[in-house]
Structure 1
Amino acid sequence: MLGPLELPVFPSCYDCLAWSADGELAIAAGEYIQILTPKNPAEHDSTQAINNWQSTRFRVNVFTNNEWPTIFPQNRDNFSLGAEQSLSTVVALAWSPPGLAKYRRCVLAVLTSNLLLSLYEPVGAQGKWTRVTIVNTILKEHFQSVVKEEALGLRKSNIRSFAWSPPLKVPVTDIGPHAIAPVESRWGFHLLSIANDDNDVIFLRTQSAPTEPLSYTAEVLSVTPIHDDSIYPQIDPSSIFATVLKSKTKILSIAWGPWLLPSTKKQKSVTGNLAVVYGTKLKVMQLDVDLALLSQGSDAGSIASSRENTAICHPDMDGYQITGPLKWFHKDHSKTIFLSAGSLTGLLSINLPIDSYRGKKSGSRQIQLQQLPFHETPAHEDDDAPRHLEPITAMTITMDESQNPVLHLGTAGGYTASKPLDPGSEEQLSEVPWNKHLDDIREKYDFDRDLGGLAVARVWGMATYREMSAVGITVHPGDMVEYRTAAEERLTIIVSGPNESQPDVSPTTSQDKREAALSYILHSDDEEQDRPPLSHRILYAAACATIIDSDNEDLQAQAHKVLVRLATVTGADLSEELSKCAGPRGAIASKSGDMLQGPGMGMFERCDICDAGVGWYSSEEAQCASGHVFVRCSLTALAIQDPGLSKLCASCGREYLNEDEIDSADTDLQSSCRMLFDAFDTCVYCDGKFRC
């Protein structure tokens, strides 16, 4: 049993939890970010829940003068005094989809109260979290050529809210029997949407810099300004008050919807929508992206186009005051897309047809709109249930036991509820499965302080990972002014899911991936393969690993073919290896000193300690003729003779060569390893992510 986690921190913003696809739970705690990662099941300590997690904390409000230059006072429309004088605490955070960071991990984006958006990732063998990019500098460079006024340029580069899009994956086409799907199909492109201080919605394509490690570049795909004179219809638009409100209206909540592939052969673009809360109104920005141009690296201005999607509207929608947050959901092959939005004193549930999502007004008549107020469950049927008027502070979507989506929500007053996301469902809000845990925590706080049942809870954030969900809450006295010191600050995280068990962060096992890697290497020099051949050393190692371990007859035949070619090209004597391809398999003896100095010597391994040959008896371990033992790389099968040249699978612990640490003088081996690890960028045994 996991049990609630009690942390000595206090959240600095609503929606303070974010759970990455790699299993890392990030918590916004004032000037710090706390990262919790579940330990492997073998390391669990069931006596204390917090001991079942790896914990890391780092500071995010320390900026150099180059990162955050001094800004002198400007006019009142373009200068944010609060941002300049703030402590730069965390006001929003979100993980990118996997595949953007090194080793295909997730990048953490953190927005601080000084209106700077920073990207973080762990660096080095110790995994120290480091700021790698500030997105504001990218916006500043983009608008410099358009905006000449310094004050307006400052407003254009300040960031109020952001959201990552789902990964934009290129559909897999026929790639051949011995090829691997390209990176764009496995991990997709990473798009980041930003709302600046001038109410521009900016769409960026983010990617790691190819020439500079631990650095990221971003190009602006499209910019759509939002300016609506009728944002507050209850106020006379010609009044001074309406003018002031319009100038101070900001976009404070945005959320990405799913990507839809072209519905006809004539269409070339995929469609995505971004929901934004502008003032108290819900607006939707539609982005159309040409995947072919995006894959070819064409000019950013021609790749995508954005506009407001007016087809997503309902006659009654203008009557609601939207406060956020926002949450989209779409199940594969479903004709309905769900959008949930927090409104004043309730939840607004919107069911959209696919046509409306694509921007076709013909489908707008089928939009279903439902408002669900927040009522406490009455003690008796005759009693009137009290109503909660506080806003929603967190929402998340989980799957129930039948794999049906369920929306969970919580408010600043501790009200929690859930709603199934079914097309045409009129079901009202019901109790969340983890409500008993919340009540127990509140009652314990109430009993310890003798509050007479007046303790209240506040929900600060929700996040999901696979089938698990995490909820961050705090408890407070409800009938007095609360005095709290820093030593008394506590955030309780309730982790729930199937049987409330510890979340399993180990990836699913792929039994065929190891053989697929061997097949990819052995077929690399086939004429039909559109890729450069690999290093002779890697080809020889893959052939030997196939002889030793594989029972696949096709791989054995291909290994024989590769050895014949290597013997022909290099002139080396490979008769022992060839005989064991066709006959009984067994260990391959280490090469003599004459063979290590003769033809084909570059493909044979020798011990760095004693210069003796290295034999083959296992694809996981190597031993030289003098007895020195080394671990073999789990992908290339080469012996790792220097511990500094390896990287590890974070899940199963297997070792791999680190392509960044290979001697640059051996360009053939280095380029071959880079090509291999681009194709197999996760563990070939368990699909786990790598770490230094």
Structure 2
Amino acid sequence: MASDKPPQNILPLESFSLTAAPSSTHNIVWSPDAELAIGCDDCVFVFVPEFSIPKTANGGSAGVVRQYNETTLRFPTVEHRSPELNRPIFDLVKQKVPDFEYTPGGGGSGTVASQGSSMNHLVALEWSPSGLGRMNRSVLAILTGSGSITIYCEGASDGMNAFKLRGRNARALSPWVAAWGVGAGMLLPLAKGHEVDYTKEYITSFAWAKDTGSHGALLAYANDDEEVVIISVQSKHNSSATPGDCGQWRVEEVARFVAEGPHPKVDPTDPDYSPSGSSYALSWGPWMKRGRSKTSIISYVAKNYVGFRQVTIHLPYEHMTCPKVEVGKVDSNGVCHYLSTDAFVVWEDLIWTVGDLKVCRGIIATPSQAKAFQIQFDCQPSSRVIKHTTDECKTTYPDQENSVLTQNPITGLIIHPPSLSRTTGMPSYSLVRLSATHENDGWFQTNLPLPTNLEDGIVGPRWATEINQTIEHQLPRAMAYKPMADTGSAGSEDGSADEEEIDADSAEGSDYDPEENFAGLDTEDQVHINRVRIWGMTASPGGGITAVFTSHHSTVWYGRDTYAGVKCRVLFGRHDCNADQNKQKDTALAMKKLSTEAKVFEWMYGGGPPVTGLLGSTAEDNEEQAALKDHFAIIGRSQTCSFCGLPLEPMGKMSRCGNKHIFATCATTGLPILAPGMSRTCGVCGSKCLKREDLVVMAPQLRDIIMDEISAELCGGCGGKFIN
């Protein structure tokens, strides 16, 4: 692991504060397009990445460049959705909506939830793979305390979903809409041949499958009846839809299996009973292609057991048709551990070949300890776990190894992109724990190699250094416990103190008097005044950047866990900035699977490789782009200025007539854009592209080429997604 000091060609990462009240862990997630979502008690914040760089006269960057601009969206998640939300899904597949008496909130077999609980706080959130939302983006799935999952996406805009930022159009976020949901009374259609009894389920956890390489995606969820359900999710969006339209969705339940594990239930009054269960119990492994099918392994967390079940999807299948999904009748493998509440599994995104076997690896967070595992595809029946008690597998009580850390659970764990040139015994990972104090040095752990030359005393990512500086800050005991009214600027509203405020060298201009406050005090008796909670950690799509969501608390004064009383910050850091040549080759290979937005974000902020077509002021045409523009060359020569009728001369991204009337040039076809409302703007390179429907009107003889080779969602210059 290299120093976090960025090379000169990488922009600095800027942390930011947030007015929030976090109540659950694992509440910060990155989308495949580098959008950042942060979950709080009753709302979600969504941040859009910033791709524009202000330039100076000599070509350098000017001012502070932040990776996220001011277009922050905050929307509430506490509303109980009606089953009517899913009626269009039933109508699409020509199934009747089941009749049953609906009571808002609650469901399942739990003592409290089945009665219709009114609690609907945010429990978990996760981005889908790309392609389900408008403009080929991701959608956000949110699980709330009512036991329901709601899918949020951007609705169709009125064409004005942008604003000016540093002289160019930037993407804004109009209010998102709830497309559909499941759980707590919201039912879904059943795939043909798949029959179950409709019930009012209470969902406890969920997970999106990684990109299946085909149309749509798979979503798995677990309910409180110890069942795992797999649903197929597909969507279709009209680029010219009316404002607020959420598109057409085909969502069907395709598989369901019991995931109770091998251990019998223990009565809560039993002396050996311990709580279990997890809101993050499900996780998907990577997909392995086998002829006309793809197979993955889904893991689930049960009582002191992690089970692994193979899932196969048959390819190909047409868009907006139900795929054929097969699930193993029993677990292909499983492992017993003592698991406390909120245990979870993280997979390495690579399938290894060991002899004739295909295996994949990952890490189980118990969540007190991190335990590596390796799973083989097509496991033999002898390796399957049979029914037994926890006494037989010795998981009734926690492992005494590393018992010092058992009370500080893991709240975030990422597996770094693997190296194809070097095989390690276990995946390279980094993890954070909930509580960071001066007495606890295990709140950040990693098995990445430490750097040999440390610059600026930084070890690990920048956010780890910032947290460490916060928790190591001290004040004389008499000053730390002095009432805030007496200490002047030494104490903040929540009883904490910033380093700049108590530093004698930087106290000029304030009411703070070091000589007066420290006179006669024992300055040798110091106390630590801060502690930090780390609610979650996430990695960027390319793995070059990590982010943590933290809250800052005082150790000497009480605080209020409200929007006004908690000081929250989102901190960023890098890994492997100064990687060797082999690592750079692995990184370049991994970048091929990313979207243009993710590639540019990694290049700008994470030390990733340059992105072709974005280093200059205009995109460099490849052979396919040049061939496509040749089809429209004759049409371009016949177009004239809308104001004076003179011929137009192309000039890079612009076209100009003899009277110096300037028009933007379509990055896809090279045609001038002669009227407003005919084009869409790329959110990455800022280029404009003519709409497909307008191109068909302009060149009806090229209709087949336009519909087959030109995307309605992606820029023809760089491949980025349109902002409107």
Give the match for residue 221 of structure 2: 194
- The 3 A distance-change label for structure 1 pair 416 and 232 is farther
**Aligned counterpart in structure 2 of residue 130 of structure 1, from 144, 155, 176:** 176
Amino acid of the structure 1 residue aligned with 2:378: R
Distance 1:328 1:140 in 2: 30
Contact 2:188–2:251 (CA under 8 A) maintained in structure 1:
no
The within-5 A match list for 1:274-353 is 274-292=298-316, 294-295=317-318, 299-300=322-323, 303-307=324-328, 310-314=331-335, 317=336, 323-331=342-350, 333-335=352-354, 336-343=359-366, 345-352=368-375
Contact 1:5–1:49 (CA under 8 A) maintained in structure 2:
no
Which structure carries more helix by proportion? 1
- The answer to whether the aligner puts 1:253 opposite 2:281 as a matched pair is yes
The CA deviation at 1:478 is: 5.0
- The answer to whether the aligner puts 1:509 opposite 2:617 as a matched pair is no
Give the match for residue 566 of structure 1: none
- The 3 A distance-change label for structure 1 pair 344 and 83 is farther
- The answer to whether the aligner puts 1:141 opposite 2:170 as a matched pair is no
Give the match for residue 590 of structure 2: none
The CA deviation at 1:162 is: 1.6
Distance 1:298 1:75 in 2: 30
Give the match for residue 630 of structure 1: 663
The CA deviation at 1:112 is: 2.3
Amino acid of the structure 2 residue aligned with 1:621: M
Give the match for residue 653 of structure 1: 686
Contact 1:615–1:623 (CA under 8 A) maintained in structure 2:
yes
- The answer to whether the aligner puts 1:22 opposite 2:41 as a matched pair is no
Amino acid of the structure 1 residue aligned with 2:350: K
- The 3 A distance-change label for structure 1 pair 400 and 318 is closer
The CA deviation at 1:248 is: 10
**Aligned counterpart in structure 2 of residue 98 of structure 1, from 130, 154, 165:** 130
Distance 1:144 1:111 in 2: 23
**Aligned counterpart in structure 1 of residue 75 of structure 2, from 46, 58, 65:** 58
- The 3 A distance-change label for structure 1 pair 363 and 45 is farther
Give the match for residue 12 of structure 1: 23
Contact 2:221–2:228 (CA under 8 A) maintained in structure 1:
yes
- The 3 A distance-change label for structure 1 pair 484 and 248 is closer
Distance 1:445 1:102 in 2: 50
The within-5 A match list for 1:590-669 is 604-608=638-642, 612=645, 614-618=647-651, 620-623=653-656, 628-659=661-692
Give the match for residue 518 of structure 2: none
**Aligned counterpart in structure 2 of residue 2 of structure 1, from 13, 19, 32:** 13
The CA deviation at 1:54 is: 4.8
Contact 1:2–1:46 (CA under 8 A) maintained in structure 2:
no
- The 3 A distance-change label for structure 1 pair 606 and 440 is same
**Aligned counterpart in structure 2 of residue 396 of structure 1, from 379, 401, 414:** 414
Amino acid of the structure 2 residue aligned with 1:490: K
- The answer to whether the aligner puts 1:436 opposite 2:456 as a matched pair is no
The CA deviation at 1:159 is: 2.9
Distance 1:30 1:98 in 2: 27
**Aligned counterpart in structure 2 of residue 407 of structure 1, from 429, 441, 458:** 429
Give the match for residue 574 of structure 2: 497
- The answer to whether the aligner puts 1:357 opposite 2:377 as a matched pair is yes
Give the match for residue 160 of structure 1: 204
**Aligned counterpart in structure 2 of residue 31 of structure 1, from 37, 42, 52:** 42
Output the TM-score relative to the length of structure 2.
Answer: 0.65
**Aligned counterpart in structure 1 of residue 145 of structure 2, from 97, 113, 137:** 113
The structure with more radius of gyration: 1
The CA deviation at 1:440 is: 1.1
The CA deviation at 1:394 is: 1.5
- The 3 A distance-change label for structure 1 pair 613 and 363 is farther
The CA deviation at 1:496 is: 0.3
The CA deviation at 1:254 is: 1.0
Contact 1:31–1:87 (CA under 8 A) maintained in structure 2:
no
Q: Secondary structure at the match of 2:72?
A: strand
- The answer to whether the aligner puts 1:676 opposite 2:709 as a matched pair is yes
The CA deviation at 1:418 is: 3.2
1:407-432 Cα offsets, whole Å, 9 max, x none, are 1112222343434489xxxxxxxx85
The CA deviation at 1:15 is: 0.4
- The 3 A distance-change label for structure 1 pair 417 and 687 is same
Structure 2 runs not aligned, ≥5 long: 1-11, 55-60, 87-100, 162-172, 386-394, 437-441, 450-458, 481-490, 497-525, 579-603, 614-618
Higher relative contact order (CA 8 A, sep 6+): 2
Give the match for residue 568 of structure 1: none
The CA deviation at 1:203 is: 2.0
Count of residue pairs the alignment pairs up: 557
The CA deviation at 1:196 is: 3.3
Which deviates the most, 55-64 or 86-95?
Answer: 55-64
Structure 1 runs not aligned, ≥5 long: 170-183, 376-384, 423-430, 523-538, 546-587, 589-603
Contact 1:269–1:291 (CA under 8 A) maintained in structure 2:
yes
Q: Secondary structure at the match of 2:189?
A: helix
Which deviates the most, 102-111 or 15-24?
Answer: 102-111
Contact 1:322–1:341 (CA under 8 A) maintained in structure 2:
no
- The 3 A distance-change label for structure 1 pair 654 and 374 is farther
Contact 2:685–2:720 (CA under 8 A) maintained in structure 1:
yes
The CA deviation at 1:615 is: 3.7
Give the match for residue 457 of structure 1: 532
Q: Secondary structure at the match of 1:283?
A: strand
Output the TM-score relative to the length of structure 1.
Answer: 0.68
Distance 1:222 1:507 in 2: 41
- The 3 A distance-change label for structure 1 pair 504 and 208 is farther
Amino acid of the structure 1 residue aligned with 2:297: N
The CA deviation at 1:271 is: 0.8
Q: Secondary structure at the match of 1:439?
A: helix
Distance 2:120 2:154 in 1: 21
Distance 1:642 1:348 in 2: 61
Distance 2:247 2:624 in 1: 32
**Aligned counterpart in structure 2 of residue 225 of structure 1, from 249, 257, 279:** 257
Distance 1:642 1:92 in 2: 45
1:387-417 Cα offsets, whole Å, 9 max, x none, are 4423222212235999986311122223434
Contact 1:95–1:106 (CA under 8 A) maintained in structure 2:
yes
Distance 2:70 2:609 in 1: 14
Contact 2:277–2:341 (CA under 8 A) maintained in structure 1:
no
Q: Secondary structure at the match of 1:106?
A: coil
Contact 2:38–2:45 (CA under 8 A) maintained in structure 1:
yes
Distance 1:519 1:671 in 2: 15
- The answer to whether the aligner puts 1:689 opposite 2:721 as a matched pair is yes
Distance 2:338 2:68 in 1: 49
Contact 1:472–1:493 (CA under 8 A) maintained in structure 2:
yes
Distance 1:295 1:168 in 2: 14
Amino acid of the structure 1 residue aligned with 2:235: S
The CA deviation at 1:18 is: 0.6
- The 3 A distance-change label for structure 1 pair 435 and 648 is same
Distance 1:106 1:91 in 2: 20
Q: Secondary structure at the match of 1:351?
A: strand
Q: Secondary structure at the match of 1:133?
A: strand
1:66-103 Cα offsets, whole Å, 9 max, x none, are 44996169998378548944453321111122233222
Amino acid of the structure 2 residue aligned with 1:459: I
1:635-665 Cα offsets, whole Å, 9 max, x none, are 1222222222221111111111133677989
Give the match for residue 564 of structure 1: none
